[in-house]
């Protein structure tokens, strides 16, 4: 794969307040227990070469770099790209690309990925099926897409709008889209039912536009307990977790 680097012109300073989505992104990055929990769920499927789709500010990129041989961090927002490159400059096993999945050509056989990690990204993309198809081409045969998306359209509210979500997903609709994109589904289930209650409260009842800091910190402290019951089948949750495989 040919890696293209872009030079980004320095941005003019501005006194404008940060976007609500960026505030939420920063707050979620501080939820160390929650983020470690997500990565632990993905760890058995990572392999050695991983594509981090929509790397953002690098929260999961940095965790992945500690676990695998090589990470390619894909981020279309050039403002985040600058921060990613600075944050990960000391990580020789990380490459940052200013691109999105729609611009990546199919890799050569020896450059295909063992896994693609796509956490809370797909819901931002209008053509989600097209993106899933493109991600499948980035994987080696037998490689896995590790996907986390927001669940239940009924939960769609002020936080979703502030975060520029196009949709939330139902289990059947996500399964259909993965199949349409050529994946075989190994796991697909709801996770984080406690988080769904909080999202309903803050996004539909109080209609805030950023994830509240103190409740998030309290939730993060509960993660050790929540991890104990994570494997229990539940009919609802804040998110849908999927492990989808590119057929051999």
Give CA–CA dist 168/122, Å, rounded: 10
| Cβ–Cβ < 8 Å for 53, 121 | yes
Q: Give the DSSP letter string of 169-192.
A: B-HHHHHHHHHHTTPEEEEEEEE-
pLDDT in tens, the chain (248 residues): 434 333 333 344 445 567 889 999 999 999 999 999 999 999 999 999 999 999 999 999 999 999 999 999 999 998 899 999 999 999 999 999 999 988 888 999 999 999 999 999 999 999 999 999 999 999 999 999 999 999 999 999 999 999 999 999 999 999 999 999 999 999 999 999 999 999 999 999 999 999 999 999 999 999 999 988 888 888 999 999 999 999 99
| Cβ–Cβ < 8 Å for 90, 62 | no
pTM of the entire structure?
0.92
> What distance lies between CA 7 and its chain's CA centroid?
25
Q: What is the phi/psi pair of residue 207, to 5°?
A: 55, 45
Residue spans per domain, the chain:
20-245
Fold (CATH) for 20-245: Rossmann fold (3.40.50)
To which H or E segment does residue 3 belong?
none
């Amino acid at each position: 794969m040919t890696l293209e680097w872009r030079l980004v012109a320095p941005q003019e300073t501005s006194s404008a307040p940060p976007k609500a989505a960026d505030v939420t992104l920063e707050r979620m990055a501080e939820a160390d227990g929650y983020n470690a929990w997500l990565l632990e769920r993905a760890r058995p499927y990572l392999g050695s070469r991983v594509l981090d789709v929509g790397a953002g500010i690098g929260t999961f990129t940095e965790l992945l770099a500690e676990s695998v041989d090589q990470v390619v961090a894909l981020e279309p927002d050039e403002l985040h790209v600058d921060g990613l490159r600075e944050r990960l400059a000391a990580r020789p096993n990380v490459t940052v690309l200013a691109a999105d999945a729609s611009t990546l050509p199919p890799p050569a056989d020896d450059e295909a990925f063992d896994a693609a990690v796509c956490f809370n990204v797909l819901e931002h993309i209008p053509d989600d099926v097209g993106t899933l198809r493109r991600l499948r081409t980035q994987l080696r045969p037998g490689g896995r897409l590790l996907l986390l998306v927001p669940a239940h359209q009924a939960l769609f509210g002020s936080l979703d709008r502030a975060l520029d979500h196009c949709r939330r997903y139902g289990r059947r609709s996500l399964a259909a889209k993965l199949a349409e994109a050529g994946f075989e589904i190994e796991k697909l289930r709801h996770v984080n039912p406690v988080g769904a209650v909080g999202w309903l409260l803050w996004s539909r009842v109080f209609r805030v536009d950023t994830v509240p800091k103190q409740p998030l910190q309290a939730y993060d402290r509960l993660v050790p307990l929540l991890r104990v019951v994570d494997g229990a089948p539940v009919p609802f949750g804040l998110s849908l977790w999927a492990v989808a495989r590119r057929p051999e």
